[in-house]
Every structure is written in structure tokens, then in C-alpha cells.
Amino acid sequence: MVRILDNELIKSHKDKIIVSTLVMTIVIFFIFDNISMLTPNFIWSKTYHDNIVQKFFSISFIRFVVLYISYGIVTTVFLKDKRVELQSLKDDQYAKIQWLISKMLCIYTSFLMPLIINTIIKLILYKMSYNFYHEKLGIGVSVIFIFFIFQCLLAFCGLQSFILSHLLFGDLLKATIFPALFVEFIFTTFGMNSLIISKKLDFINYIIGPIKYNIINNLVDIIFWDGRLELQEKVLQLLLLALTLLIGILILSINYFVLNYLNVEKLESKYASKYIRIIYHIILAVMIGFYIPAAIAYYIAIINPKVSLDHATYSFNIISLITIPLIFLFVLETPIWKLSKNKLDKTI
């Protein structure tokens, strides 16, 4: 019978699983706002259905970010020795798959158990005030069920994204922050850029418009207008749940191929390949070249009445278009190229 789990690896992570589960249970208890459900119902007596759902049976974008960071830290704790562990497997593909599945099981257990515990707590508190939630506000158990399933799927996606990041980067800090940095890069490139582009450069909006209006605007609605899955129509809820699951499976498939691509030599380097380094540096260059000129340009527009907002925007756009490639080429990439060249010269 083919074994897909490494029992020794799982046993070695027993203490980490217990500690991570306890810590995440406490973190999720406050993120889920279960503590507020312990307060007397008369405090919330004048609150409407949607407000109660948002407060107790859903989480805001800010709380989700905190939860996502917590998932990243826990994943890093489990994967901090990945280089040594994978090098010991040499290039045994079966052993690598076994390692991946075992690691996923250990980490996801640390995510899933706290979610289950806190959902049970939420159900108990819901049952204790059943008349208030169900009879008065019309909030059924299905809302809690949808909330739980969605959080489990988000945890699965978060796990896969952090595992992928750790496979692509040797440095633990870069691996931890890269998923959030990548999302911010997409939002900055196709969202924020389109909001603050001068009318003189309106052709850029025309190019990135389809992505902005079909994807970014929906994310903006969720973030700034506090749109919640739990308040959507049932059909839309199911579609979003299915989409979240598909994204998680897609990233899992990418993890499988990346793991097979890695060898002992690549595990020794800071990046899985030079293309990953280039992508990482492009993201950094865009973030630096976007936010710093924007802050300076709008600060000048605020303190100097002679500078119009559109003129400041146009100046910032031009400066960004110039500084982003300069930062990428001469600040991020050139030192690496020179270092590689010096090492090559020493070997000749």
C-alpha cells in the first residue's frame, strides 16, 4: 500500500501543532468577536439584522488581514527548516510529495482546529440567545455554517499561497511577506494607479480598464464598502465558495510542480530561479516608485496652492514611469549582477 504521509515528520511536529492550535484558537476567538457575543442581548436590541451578521457572523477586511498574517507566521514556523528537510530527500519525487502532504496536514490542522473550536463556541452562544438571533432578527444557523465553510476555504488558500511562497524564496521574511506584497502589487497596478492617473495619460486607464472594472472594483467594494459574503444571495455565496476552492486547488497544483522543479542546487539559493528574483524586484520597484513620488507630489499640492491637483498627479505619473525602471535596474538588479560577475571572475 502506498503511503502518502510521513508519520515521523508528523510526530516531530506534534508540539508545534499543539502550541499553534492553542495560540490560533485565542487569536481567532477575538477575530471572530466571540467575546462580544457574551454580552447581554439588550445591548444589541436596537441593532439591525445586517449589522449583527457583520459583527458576529462575518469578519471585516482589517480582521481578515490580521488573521492572514497569523496564518503566515504559523506556516513559517513549520517551514523554517524546509531547506534542510528537502535537501535530505535529494531528488526523490515520491518523498517530496510525501513531505508536502505531511506538512500541509500539520499546518492545516493548526488552522482548522481553532476554526472548529471557535465555531462551536459561536454555535453555543447562538443557541443560548436563540430567540434574539433567530426569532427577532431572523438569523438562521445556515449563516454560521456558510461563515465556517468560507473561513476554512480561505485558510486553505492562505496555506497554499504561503507554502508556494516558501518554495520560491529561501529567505523566511521574504517568503512570509510575499503573498501580501503580491496582492498589494496587483491592487496598486490595476486599482490605485487607475484612480490617480492624470487626464493627460488617460490611455493608460484604457489599457488596464478591463481588469480594473471586472476584478479590482469588486475588491474595493469589499474593502471600503464592507461587503460581506454572508450577506449576499445564496447563488452568489455558492459561486464565491466554489471560486475560493478552485483558487486553492490551483495554487496547490502549482506547489506540486514547483516542488518537483526544485533540486539541491536551487534549494541553496535565495530564489527558486532568477525569474522569481526579477518578479520580486519588479514588485518592489513598482511599490517604491509609486508610493514615494505620490506622497511627495500630493504633499507639494497641499502646501502650495499654486500647484493644482491634476498637475501634481501628472508630475507624479511621469516621475513614477521614470523611477520604477531606474529603481529596478540600478538599485535592485545591478548590485546582484555585479556580485554574480565578481564571483564568476574569481572562479576563472
pLDDT confidence bin for 47, thresholds 50/70/90 = low
Contacts of 47 (CB under 8 A, 6+ apart): 55
8 A C-beta contact, residue 204 and residue 193: yes
pLDDT at 191: 58
First to last CA, the chain: 52
pLDDT confidence bin for 344, thresholds 50/70/90 = very low
pLDDT at 346: 39
**Which of 92-106, 134-148, 207-221, 247-261 has the weakest average pLDDT?**
207-221
> 113: closest CA among 24, 186, 198, 13?
24
Mean pLDDT of the chain: 79
Q: Which residue has the higher pLDDT, 268 or 230?
A: 268
Alpha-carbon torsion, ordered 146, 149, 154, 158, to 10 deg? 170
DSSP class of residue 199? G
Q: Where are the alpha helices (DSSP H) in 129-233?
A: 130, 141-168, 172-187, 193-195, 202-211, 217-224
**Which of 8-12, 14-18, 233-237, 281-285 has the weakest average pLDDT?**
233-237
Query: Bridge partners of 271?
Result: 169
pLDDT above 90 (res 320): no
DSSP class of residue 169? B
Residue 17, H or E segment: helix 14-31
pLDDT confidence bin for 333, thresholds 50/70/90 = low
Amino acid in position 280: Y
- What does the block give as the cell for 292? 514615494
